[in-house]
Amino acid sequence: MLWQLAQMFWVGGLWLLHIGLPPVLGQIGLAPLLIDEIAGTLNALMVGFSAACVIFQALVLIRAEGLASVWRDIRGQLLLMALYACVMYIVARIGWPDAVRWQVFSFLILGFSGLVLVLQPVPGWSGRVREAHP
């Protein structure tokens, strides 16, 4: 359940922020430059939050499947790619602030790796319903 909760927060939040927020702010009547400034600030916060959730999910995967699953399992590889995208976004934002396209590219890599991760089974889930313990 923790896996799915963390995944819902960071993947859902990323896509909601990328697809949903700018049109809504434009519908309110904010100036395009203000919309870009708000979205840029929230994107940076969301990438940081996503990095924390990705690390948490990696710990859940290690606990359920073992340390080798980070490299051998597709879920671990997707988590590593998402973490790399977070680092790439932060490095581009701090070290090269004019490289907005690199930031957008990193953000989209993070989002798409999250979407593919959503399609993967939950670690430790064997496909059968677990019985409740009294």
- If DSSP codes are grouped into helix, strand and coil, which group holds residue 124? coil
pTM for the complete prediction?
0.80
Gap between the Cα atoms of 63 and 59, Å rounded:
6
Phi, psi of 24 (to 5 degrees): -65, -45
Give me the pLDDT at residue 133, please.
52
34-91 pLDDT tens trace: 888 888 888 889 999 999 999 998 998 888 888 887 888 888 899 999 999 999 999 9
d(CA 110, CA 86): 7
Domain ranges of the chain: 2-118
> Is residue 90 helix, strand or coil?
helix
Query: CA–CA distance from 21 to each of 69, 73, 92 (Å)?
Result: 35, 34, 22
